[in-house]
Structure 1
Amino acid sequence: MRVFTKTSLGTLILAAALSTQLTACVPVIVGGAAVGGSMAADRRTSGTYIEDQAIELKASKAIADSLKEKVHANLTSFNRQLLITGEVSDEANKKKAESLVKPIENVLSIHNYLAIGPNSSLSTRTNDAYITSKVKANFIKENKFSANYVKVVTESGSVYLLGLVTHKEADDAVEIARSIGGVKTVVKVFEYID
Protein backbone atom coordinates (compact mmCIF):
# COMPACT_ATOMS: atom_id res chain seq x y z
CA MET A 1 0.00 0.00 0.00
CA ARG A 2 1.33 3.41 -1.00
CA VAL A 3 1.29 6.18 1.55
CA PHE A 4 0.81 9.72 0.25
CA THR A 5 2.48 12.58 2.01
CA LYS A 6 0.60 15.81 2.41
CA THR A 7 2.69 17.41 -0.38
CA SER A 8 2.29 14.57 -2.89
CA LEU A 9 -1.45 14.33 -2.19
CA GLY A 10 -1.80 18.10 -2.71
CA THR A 11 0.16 17.83 -5.97
CA LEU A 12 -2.06 14.98 -7.15
CA ILE A 13 -5.26 16.91 -6.38
CA LEU A 14 -3.89 20.04 -8.09
CA ALA A 15 -2.90 18.01 -11.19
CA ALA A 16 -6.36 16.43 -11.35
CA ALA A 17 -8.05 19.81 -11.05
CA LEU A 18 -5.84 21.38 -13.71
CA SER A 19 -6.36 18.49 -16.12
CA THR A 20 -10.08 19.32 -16.28
CA GLN A 21 -9.16 22.82 -17.43
CA LEU A 22 -6.80 21.69 -20.19
CA THR A 23 -9.33 19.97 -22.47
CA ALA A 24 -9.76 23.15 -24.52
CA CYS A 25 -6.00 23.27 -25.05
CA VAL A 26 -5.84 19.88 -26.78
CA PRO A 27 -6.72 21.30 -30.26
CA VAL A 28 -4.11 24.02 -29.76
CA ILE A 29 -1.44 21.50 -28.77
CA VAL A 30 -2.35 19.12 -31.60
CA GLY A 31 -2.50 22.01 -34.09
CA GLY A 32 0.88 23.26 -32.91
CA ALA A 33 2.34 19.78 -33.33
CA ALA A 34 0.96 19.57 -36.87
CA VAL A 35 2.48 22.93 -37.81
CA GLY A 36 5.76 21.91 -36.19
CA GLY A 37 5.72 18.65 -38.16
CA SER A 38 5.09 20.41 -41.47
CA MET A 39 7.85 22.91 -40.66
CA ALA A 40 10.28 20.08 -39.96
CA ALA A 41 9.55 18.51 -43.37
CA ASP A 42 9.92 21.84 -45.19
CA ARG A 43 13.16 23.11 -46.73
CA ARG A 44 12.48 26.63 -45.48
CA THR A 45 13.86 27.66 -42.12
CA SER A 46 11.30 27.95 -39.34
CA GLY A 47 11.84 31.71 -39.38
CA THR A 48 11.11 31.92 -43.10
CA TYR A 49 8.07 29.67 -42.67
CA ILE A 50 6.66 32.09 -40.08
CA GLU A 51 7.61 35.12 -42.21
CA ASP A 52 5.69 33.60 -45.13
CA GLN A 53 2.57 33.32 -42.99
CA ALA A 54 2.94 36.94 -41.88
CA ILE A 55 3.46 38.09 -45.48
CA GLU A 56 0.25 36.32 -46.56
CA LEU A 57 -1.77 37.92 -43.76
CA LYS A 58 -0.41 41.43 -44.38
CA ALA A 59 -0.82 41.16 -48.16
CA SER A 60 -4.39 39.85 -47.88
CA LYS A 61 -5.34 42.67 -45.53
CA ALA A 62 -3.69 45.38 -47.67
CA ILE A 63 -5.48 44.26 -50.82
CA ALA A 64 -8.86 43.60 -49.17
CA ASP A 65 -8.85 46.94 -47.33
CA SER A 66 -8.02 48.94 -50.46
CA LEU A 67 -9.65 47.12 -53.38
CA LYS A 68 -12.61 45.53 -51.55
CA GLU A 69 -15.07 44.01 -54.08
CA LYS A 70 -12.91 44.92 -57.09
CA VAL A 71 -10.71 41.90 -56.47
CA HIS A 72 -10.80 38.27 -55.41
CA ALA A 73 -7.16 37.66 -54.54
CA ASN A 74 -5.41 34.61 -53.15
CA LEU A 75 -1.99 35.34 -51.71
CA THR A 76 0.61 32.63 -51.23
CA SER A 77 4.09 33.27 -49.92
CA PHE A 78 6.82 30.65 -50.17
CA ASN A 79 10.36 31.53 -49.17
CA ARG A 80 9.33 35.20 -49.31
CA GLN A 81 8.24 34.89 -52.95
CA LEU A 82 4.66 36.24 -53.09
CA LEU A 83 2.21 34.72 -55.58
CA ILE A 84 -0.98 36.66 -56.30
CA THR A 85 -3.77 34.73 -58.05
CA GLY A 86 -7.47 35.37 -58.52
CA GLU A 87 -9.50 37.91 -60.44
CA VAL A 88 -9.50 41.69 -60.58
CA SER A 89 -11.81 44.22 -62.25
CA ASP A 90 -9.25 45.90 -64.55
CA GLU A 91 -5.57 46.41 -65.38
CA ALA A 92 -5.25 49.49 -63.15
CA ASN A 93 -6.43 47.52 -60.10
CA LYS A 94 -4.13 44.63 -61.03
CA LYS A 95 -1.19 47.02 -60.86
CA LYS A 96 -2.55 48.60 -57.68
CA ALA A 97 -2.77 45.18 -56.00
CA GLU A 98 0.91 44.64 -56.73
CA SER A 99 1.87 48.11 -55.51
CA LEU A 100 -0.02 47.50 -52.25
CA VAL A 101 2.07 44.42 -51.38
CA LYS A 102 5.47 45.71 -52.55
CA PRO A 103 6.24 47.61 -49.34
CA ILE A 104 5.51 44.60 -47.11
CA GLU A 105 8.60 43.72 -45.11
CA ASN A 106 10.54 40.61 -46.22
CA VAL A 107 8.86 40.21 -49.64
CA LEU A 108 11.68 39.38 -52.06
CA SER A 109 9.65 39.15 -55.27
CA ILE A 110 6.05 39.29 -56.48
CA HIS A 111 4.46 37.04 -59.10
CA ASN A 112 1.21 38.75 -60.12
CA TYR A 113 -1.09 36.32 -61.95
CA LEU A 114 -4.35 38.15 -61.29
CA ALA A 115 -6.74 37.62 -64.22
CA ILE A 116 -8.85 40.54 -65.38
CA GLY A 117 -12.53 39.61 -65.22
CA PRO A 118 -15.39 38.76 -62.88
CA ASN A 119 -14.77 36.84 -59.66
CA SER A 120 -14.71 33.08 -60.04
CA SER A 121 -17.82 31.10 -59.12
CA LEU A 122 -18.18 28.78 -56.15
CA SER A 123 -18.15 25.77 -58.50
CA THR A 124 -14.87 26.94 -60.06
CA ARG A 125 -13.29 27.38 -56.63
CA THR A 126 -14.55 23.97 -55.53
CA ASN A 127 -13.09 22.39 -58.67
CA ASP A 128 -9.78 24.18 -58.02
CA ALA A 129 -9.66 22.77 -54.49
CA TYR A 130 -10.34 19.30 -55.91
CA ILE A 131 -7.53 19.67 -58.48
CA THR A 132 -5.11 20.83 -55.76
CA SER A 133 -5.95 17.81 -53.60
CA LYS A 134 -5.52 15.45 -56.57
CA VAL A 135 -2.11 16.95 -57.42
CA LYS A 136 -0.95 16.63 -53.80
CA ALA A 137 -2.28 13.07 -53.56
CA ASN A 138 -0.43 12.12 -56.74
CA PHE A 139 2.79 13.65 -55.38
CA ILE A 140 2.47 11.23 -52.47
CA LYS A 141 1.42 8.30 -54.67
CA GLU A 142 4.27 8.76 -57.17
CA ASN A 143 6.79 9.25 -54.32
CA LYS A 144 9.41 10.92 -56.52
CA PHE A 145 10.11 13.64 -53.92
CA SER A 146 8.72 14.72 -50.56
CA ALA A 147 5.27 16.19 -51.19
CA ASN A 148 6.07 18.88 -48.59
CA TYR A 149 8.73 20.35 -50.89
CA VAL A 150 6.12 21.69 -53.33
CA LYS A 151 3.21 23.99 -52.53
CA VAL A 152 0.26 23.73 -54.92
CA VAL A 153 -2.17 26.55 -55.71
CA THR A 154 -4.94 26.16 -58.31
CA GLU A 155 -6.83 29.06 -59.83
CA SER A 156 -9.39 28.52 -62.63
CA GLY A 157 -7.72 25.26 -63.64
CA SER A 158 -4.20 26.71 -63.72
CA VAL A 159 -1.86 25.01 -61.27
CA TYR A 160 0.93 27.07 -59.70
CA LEU A 161 3.81 25.16 -58.14
CA LEU A 162 6.06 26.82 -55.56
CA GLY A 163 8.97 25.43 -53.60
CA LEU A 164 12.68 25.04 -53.01
CA VAL A 165 13.46 22.13 -55.33
CA THR A 166 16.06 20.54 -57.56
CA HIS A 167 15.50 20.70 -61.32
CA LYS A 168 14.61 16.99 -61.30
CA GLU A 169 12.01 17.50 -58.54
CA ALA A 170 10.55 20.44 -60.48
CA ASP A 171 10.28 18.38 -63.67
CA ASP A 172 8.65 15.51 -61.78
CA ALA A 173 6.19 17.87 -60.07
CA VAL A 174 5.20 19.47 -63.38
CA GLU A 175 4.77 16.06 -65.04
CA ILE A 176 2.55 14.83 -62.20
CA ALA A 177 0.45 18.02 -62.15
CA ARG A 178 -0.06 17.95 -65.94
CA SER A 179 -1.41 14.40 -65.73
CA ILE A 180 -4.39 15.44 -63.58
CA GLY A 181 -7.72 15.87 -65.37
CA GLY A 182 -8.98 19.44 -65.45
CA VAL A 183 -5.53 21.04 -65.31
CA LYS A 184 -5.32 23.70 -68.04
CA THR A 185 -1.77 24.93 -67.45
CA VAL A 186 1.06 24.44 -64.98
CA VAL A 187 3.04 27.49 -63.90
CA LYS A 188 6.42 27.03 -62.19
CA VAL A 189 7.22 29.52 -59.44
CA PHE A 190 10.14 27.46 -58.13
CA GLU A 191 13.47 28.37 -56.60
CA TYR A 192 16.16 25.87 -57.52
CA ILE A 193 18.64 24.52 -54.99
CA ASP A 194 20.97 22.63 -57.36
Structure 2
Amino acid sequence: MMKRRLFVLLFAATAAASLSACLPLMAGGVAAGTLVATDRRTSGTYVEDQGIQVKALHQSERFTGAHINITSYNRAVLITGEAQDAAQSADIEMMVRGIPNVQRVYNHLVIAPAATLAQRNNDTWITTKVRTRLLDGKGYPPQAVKVVTERGVVYLLGMVTAAEGSAVANVASTTPGVQQVVTLFETISASPAPASN
Protein backbone atom coordinates (compact mmCIF):
# COMPACT_ATOMS: atom_id res chain seq x y z
CA MET A 1 0.00 0.00 0.00
CA MET A 2 2.83 2.37 0.86
CA LYS A 3 4.62 1.60 -2.41
CA ARG A 4 1.45 2.34 -4.34
CA ARG A 5 1.01 5.73 -2.63
CA LEU A 6 4.64 6.58 -3.30
CA PHE A 7 4.21 5.62 -6.95
CA VAL A 8 1.05 7.74 -7.27
CA LEU A 9 2.76 10.73 -5.65
CA LEU A 10 5.81 10.34 -7.87
CA PHE A 11 3.61 10.07 -10.96
CA ALA A 12 1.59 13.13 -9.93
CA ALA A 13 4.74 15.17 -9.29
CA THR A 14 6.18 14.17 -12.67
CA ALA A 15 2.91 15.01 -14.45
CA ALA A 16 2.67 18.36 -12.67
CA ALA A 17 6.23 19.24 -13.66
CA SER A 18 5.49 18.34 -17.27
CA LEU A 19 2.28 20.36 -17.32
CA SER A 20 3.91 23.36 -15.64
CA ALA A 21 6.49 23.39 -18.45
CA CYS A 22 3.64 23.58 -20.96
CA LEU A 23 1.90 26.45 -19.19
CA PRO A 24 4.47 29.17 -20.09
CA LEU A 25 4.39 27.96 -23.69
CA MET A 26 0.61 28.10 -23.79
CA ALA A 27 0.56 31.48 -22.04
CA GLY A 28 3.26 32.79 -24.39
CA GLY A 29 1.28 31.57 -27.39
CA VAL A 30 -1.87 33.27 -26.11
CA ALA A 31 0.05 36.50 -25.44
CA ALA A 32 1.61 36.42 -28.92
CA GLY A 33 -1.80 35.74 -30.45
CA THR A 34 -3.26 38.70 -28.57
CA LEU A 35 -0.45 40.98 -29.77
CA VAL A 36 -0.99 39.94 -33.38
CA ALA A 37 -4.75 40.41 -33.01
CA THR A 38 -4.32 43.99 -31.76
CA ASP A 39 -1.48 44.93 -34.13
CA ARG A 40 -2.17 47.09 -37.18
CA ARG A 41 0.07 44.88 -39.30
CA THR A 42 -1.44 41.85 -40.96
CA SER A 43 -0.54 38.54 -39.34
CA GLY A 44 1.51 37.71 -42.45
CA THR A 45 3.50 40.93 -42.15
CA TYR A 46 4.00 40.33 -38.43
CA VAL A 47 5.54 36.93 -39.21
CA GLU A 48 7.66 38.42 -42.03
CA ASP A 49 9.00 41.06 -39.63
CA GLN A 50 10.03 38.35 -37.17
CA GLY A 51 11.75 36.46 -40.00
CA ILE A 52 13.58 39.57 -41.20
CA GLN A 53 14.94 40.21 -37.70
CA VAL A 54 16.11 36.62 -37.24
CA LYS A 55 17.84 36.52 -40.65
CA ALA A 56 19.48 39.91 -40.20
CA LEU A 57 20.76 39.15 -36.71
CA HIS A 58 22.10 35.78 -37.87
CA GLN A 59 23.91 37.35 -40.84
CA SER A 60 25.22 40.24 -38.72
CA GLU A 61 27.37 37.83 -36.70
CA ARG A 62 30.03 38.02 -39.42
CA PHE A 63 30.68 41.72 -38.72
CA THR A 64 33.33 41.49 -36.03
CA GLY A 65 33.71 44.38 -33.63
CA ALA A 66 30.23 45.74 -34.38
CA HIS A 67 27.27 45.89 -32.01
CA ILE A 68 24.15 45.59 -34.17
CA ASN A 69 20.46 45.72 -33.27
CA ILE A 70 17.82 44.99 -35.91
CA THR A 71 14.17 46.00 -35.58
CA SER A 72 11.60 45.37 -38.30
CA TYR A 73 8.10 46.85 -38.39
CA ASN A 74 5.86 46.51 -41.45
CA ARG A 75 8.94 45.52 -43.49
CA ALA A 76 10.79 48.74 -42.54
CA VAL A 77 14.06 47.85 -40.85
CA LEU A 78 15.84 50.00 -38.29
CA ILE A 79 19.55 49.29 -37.77
CA THR A 80 21.02 50.68 -34.56
CA GLY A 81 24.22 50.12 -32.64
CA GLU A 82 27.86 50.75 -33.41
CA ALA A 83 30.04 49.95 -36.41
CA GLN A 84 33.83 50.12 -36.56
CA ASP A 85 33.89 52.42 -39.59
CA ALA A 86 31.77 53.84 -42.43
CA ALA A 87 32.61 50.91 -44.72
CA GLN A 88 31.36 48.39 -42.18
CA SER A 89 28.18 50.44 -41.63
CA ALA A 90 27.53 50.46 -45.39
CA ASP A 91 28.17 46.69 -45.60
CA ILE A 92 25.71 46.04 -42.78
CA GLU A 93 23.09 48.17 -44.51
CA MET A 94 23.62 46.31 -47.81
CA MET A 95 23.27 42.99 -46.00
CA VAL A 96 19.91 44.08 -44.55
CA ARG A 97 18.69 45.41 -47.91
CA GLY A 98 19.40 41.99 -49.43
CA ILE A 99 17.02 40.16 -47.09
CA PRO A 100 13.73 39.13 -48.74
CA ASN A 101 10.64 41.28 -47.94
CA VAL A 102 12.64 44.30 -46.69
CA GLN A 103 11.06 47.43 -48.17
CA ARG A 104 12.84 50.26 -46.31
CA VAL A 105 16.04 50.51 -44.29
CA TYR A 106 16.87 53.16 -41.70
CA ASN A 107 20.59 52.97 -40.95
CA HIS A 108 21.21 54.67 -37.62
CA LEU A 109 24.49 52.94 -36.81
CA VAL A 110 27.10 55.21 -35.26
CA ILE A 111 30.84 54.89 -35.81
CA ALA A 112 32.03 54.18 -32.28
CA PRO A 113 33.23 51.41 -29.98
CA ALA A 114 30.51 48.95 -28.98
CA ALA A 115 28.24 50.23 -26.21
CA THR A 116 29.10 49.09 -22.71
CA LEU A 117 26.83 46.81 -20.70
CA ALA A 118 25.94 49.78 -18.49
CA GLN A 119 24.86 51.81 -21.55
CA ARG A 120 22.77 48.92 -22.86
CA ASN A 121 21.11 48.43 -19.48
CA ASN A 122 20.30 52.14 -19.35
CA ASP A 123 18.77 51.95 -22.84
CA THR A 124 16.65 48.98 -21.77
CA TRP A 125 15.47 50.94 -18.74
CA ILE A 126 14.55 53.95 -20.90
CA THR A 127 12.62 51.71 -23.32
CA THR A 128 10.74 50.19 -20.38
CA LYS A 129 9.82 53.64 -19.03
CA VAL A 130 8.60 54.84 -22.44
CA ARG A 131 6.54 51.68 -23.05
CA THR A 132 5.03 51.90 -19.58
CA ARG A 133 4.00 55.52 -20.14
CA LEU A 134 2.55 54.60 -23.54
CA LEU A 135 0.20 52.10 -21.89
CA ASP A 136 -2.04 55.05 -20.97
CA GLY A 137 -3.05 55.09 -24.65
CA LYS A 138 -4.25 58.70 -24.64
CA GLY A 139 -4.80 59.55 -28.30
CA TYR A 140 -3.05 56.51 -29.77
CA PRO A 141 -3.11 52.71 -29.61
CA PRO A 142 0.00 51.59 -27.65
CA GLN A 143 0.26 48.27 -29.51
CA ALA A 144 0.74 50.12 -32.84
CA VAL A 145 4.13 51.51 -31.78
CA LYS A 146 7.52 49.84 -31.41
CA VAL A 147 10.08 51.52 -29.13
CA VAL A 148 13.85 51.08 -29.50
CA THR A 149 16.48 52.94 -27.47
CA GLU A 150 20.15 53.22 -28.37
CA ARG A 151 22.58 55.51 -26.48
CA GLY A 152 19.67 57.45 -24.98
CA VAL A 153 18.04 58.06 -28.38
CA VAL A 154 14.51 56.68 -28.66
CA TYR A 155 13.38 55.44 -32.07
CA LEU A 156 9.66 55.05 -32.68
CA LEU A 157 8.25 52.83 -35.44
CA GLY A 158 4.64 52.03 -36.21
CA MET A 159 1.57 52.65 -38.32
CA VAL A 160 -0.10 55.76 -36.90
CA THR A 161 -2.05 58.82 -37.95
CA ALA A 162 -0.29 62.18 -37.77
CA ALA A 163 -2.12 63.03 -34.53
CA GLU A 164 -1.28 59.66 -32.97
CA GLY A 165 2.37 60.04 -33.97
CA SER A 166 2.57 63.45 -32.34
CA ALA A 167 0.99 62.15 -29.14
CA VAL A 168 3.40 59.19 -28.96
CA ALA A 169 6.44 61.36 -29.71
CA ASN A 170 5.38 63.75 -26.95
CA VAL A 171 5.18 60.92 -24.41
CA ALA A 172 8.62 59.64 -25.43
CA SER A 173 10.27 63.07 -25.43
CA THR A 174 9.02 63.87 -21.91
CA THR A 175 10.26 60.59 -20.43
CA PRO A 176 13.22 61.05 -18.05
CA GLY A 177 16.56 59.97 -19.53
CA VAL A 178 15.52 60.36 -23.18
CA GLN A 179 18.08 62.50 -25.01
CA GLN A 180 16.43 62.55 -28.43
CA VAL A 181 13.38 61.09 -30.20
CA VAL A 182 13.52 59.88 -33.82
CA THR A 183 10.13 59.13 -35.39
CA LEU A 184 10.13 56.59 -38.20
CA PHE A 185 6.37 56.22 -38.43
CA GLU A 186 4.40 55.08 -41.42
CA THR A 187 1.66 57.71 -41.47
CA ILE A 188 -1.83 56.43 -42.23
CA SER A 189 -4.90 58.53 -42.96
CA ALA A 190 -7.29 56.92 -40.45
CA SER A 191 -7.21 54.55 -37.51
CA PRO A 192 -7.93 51.10 -38.97
CA ALA A 193 -9.32 48.17 -37.08
CA PRO A 194 -6.64 45.61 -36.18
CA ALA A 195 -5.86 43.48 -39.22
CA SER A 196 -6.34 39.74 -39.17
CA ASN A 197 -4.43 38.84 -42.33
TM-score category, normalised to shorter length: 0.7 to 0.9
CA distance in 2, matches of 1:82, 1:97: 12
Task: Report the Cα distance in structure 2 between the residues aligned to 1:142 and 1:163, rounded to whole angstroms.
Answer: 14
Q: 1:160 aligns with which of 151, 155, 163?
A: 155
- Identity %, equivalent residues: 44
* 1:62 pairs with one of 59, 64, 79: 59
Q: Which amino acid aligns with 1:82?
A: V
Which TM-score applies when normalising by structure 1?
A: 0.86
Match of residue 46, structure 2, among 25, 49, 56: 49
Distance 1:192 1:178 in 2: 19
* Match in the other structure for 2:126: 131
| 1:64-143 mapped onto 2 (5 Å cutoff) | 64=61, 66-68=62-64, 70-141=65-136, 143=138
Quick check: which has more Rg, 1 or 2?
1
TM-aligned CA deviation for residue 27 of structure 1: 1.5
After superposing on structure 2, the runs of 4+ consecutive aligned residues of structure 1 that deviate more than 3 Å are 19-23
Deviation (angstroms), 1:127: 0.9
SS across alignment from 2:99: coil
**Cα deviation 1:56-114 (Å, max 9, x = unaligned):** 000011111x213x210100000000000001110000001011111111000110000
**Distance across 1 between alignment mates of 2:182 and 2:50:** 22
Counterpart amino acid of 1:45?
T
1:142–1:164 distance in 2 versus 1, CA, 3 Å: closer
Measure the CA separation in 2 of the matches of 1:168 and 1:37.
Answer: 25
Q: Structure 2: any 5+ residue segments left out of the alignment?
A: 1-11, 190-197
> Greater relative contact order: 1 or 2 (C-alpha under 8 angstroms, separation 6 or more)?
2
Letter in 1 for 2:181: V
Q: How many residue pairs are counted as aligned between the two chains?
A: 176
Q: What is the Cα deviation at residue 142 of structure 1? A: 5.5
Amino acid at match of 1:60: L
1: distance between equivalents of 2:89 and 2:141?
Answer: 34
- The counterpart of 1:30, out of the listed 20, 27, 48, is 27
Which of the residues 169, 175, 178 maps onto 2:173? 178
What is the alpha-carbon distance in structure 2 between the residues aligned to residue 60 and residue 32 of structure 1? 23
- Counterpart code for 2:63: L
What letter corresponds to residue 50 of structure 1 in structure 2?
Answer: V
Q: Kindly report the root-mean-square deviation, in angstroms, between the aligned alpha carbons of the 2 structures.
A: 1.6
